[in-house]
Amino acid sequence: MRAVFALRHSWAGIVATWRGESAFRQEVCLAVLLLPIAAVVVVSAAERVLLAGSVLLVLLVELLNSSIEAAIDRISLERHELSGRAKDCGSAAVMIALVIAAMTWGVICGPLAWHWMRGWI
């Protein structure tokens, strides 16, 4: 029964983030596009996991960033150096996750895309 309640709370967190964070909505849309590609592109199983995992990592870090921002805003809406630093660090973590995803997709799918495009030229 605890698993059901945990799943319900997890879903509530995803829904709340979807409703409140436009960046999360954009990243989910990107995931909806990229995850099926990761499932069908002709690569090894390990590369497939890296492609999908890098996309899911972005969503994971965005959820954590959103929770940090919500907690900071709950404490106080007044500007404070430490609050700003916490939010900036969360934002930086999302950026690093996006760079990891871009690098992963570029290294694994870049040569495939280049080879495919050369066939059209």
The residue type of 91 is S
According to DSSP, residue 78 is labeled S
| Residue 113 structural domain | 2-120
User: What's the predicted TM-score (pTM) here?
Assistant: 0.88
Q: Give the end-to-end CA distance of the chain in Å, rounded to a whole number.
A: 58
Q: Give me the number of domains the chain comprises.
A: 1
| Helices and strands, counts by H and E, the chain | 4, 0
Tell me which of 21, 62, 78, 81 is the catalytic residue: 62
Residue-by-residue pLDDT tens, the chain, 121 positions: 888 888 999 999 999 999 999 999 999 999 999 999 999 999 999 999 999 999 999 999 999 999 999 999 998 888 899 999 999 999 999 999 999 999 999 999 988 888 888 877 7
Could you tell me the CATH number of the domain that includes residue 103?
1.10.287.3610
- Specify the pLDDT at position 88: 95
Whose CA is closest to 30, among 62, 68, 67?
Answer: 62
How many CB atoms are closer than 10 A to CB 59?
A: 18
Please indicate whether residue 78 is annotated as part of the active site: no
Strands (E), 29-87: none
